[in-house]
Structure 1
Amino acid sequence: GVAEETTASGLVIPDTAQEKPQQGEVLAVGPGKRSDSTGELIPVDVSAGDTVIYSKYGGTEITSGGEDLLILSARDVLAIVS
């Protein structure tokens, strides 16, 4: 049979459909996001130079200066690799 995982919300995801995480180096980071309730700026937890694992289907691919780059939201970053 196919191995599967049940998420906290009860969705069953077969191993064949789970995304494979991707890894990359952070080149630049924006200022953060404004809190919906207070308007306060919430800084991002990653810094330029960090190596991160991100969701395979997250982000927007662009080409700049002949390099393929990926613009990610903080929610697409799964982990920082030390």
Structure 2
Amino acid sequence: MNIRPLGERVVIKKVEKENVTASGIVLPDTAKEESNLAEVVAISEELLNHKEIKVDLKVKDKVIYSKYAGSEVEMDGEKVIVIKYQDLLAVIG
């Protein structure tokens, strides 16, 4: 997949939650809450070269994003989300 976001945007891919609880109970897909944890796939050049915004983000970083932010797109059979940098809440790790 070759995607290059424009403006102050980032492309992320959702990281799916475990289907098994800590006690070993298997949860069906209908009982799962949608995760807002993702992995960074691409960062726009404009954002990386921005003089006023210090971007402390790299490809493959795990991030938490706003629940209803971004646009979901399917490319090469994979679903990704194109999101504004401001809608990223935290970097994990």
TM-score (norm 1): 0.61
Distance 2:49 2:42 in 1: 18
Query: Of the two, which has the highest radius of gyration?
Result: 1
Two-structure CA RMSD over aligned residues (Å) = 2.5
Q: Please tell me whether residue 74 in structure 1 is matched to residue 55 in structure 2.
A: no
Contact 1:60 1:72 in 2 (8 A): yes
1:72 alignment partner, SS class: strand
Residue 33 (structure 1) shift: 7.5
2:41 alignment partner, SS class: coil
TM-score (norm 2): 0.54
The count of aligned residue pairs is 59
Q: 1:67 to 1:76 in 2, by over 3 A?
A: same
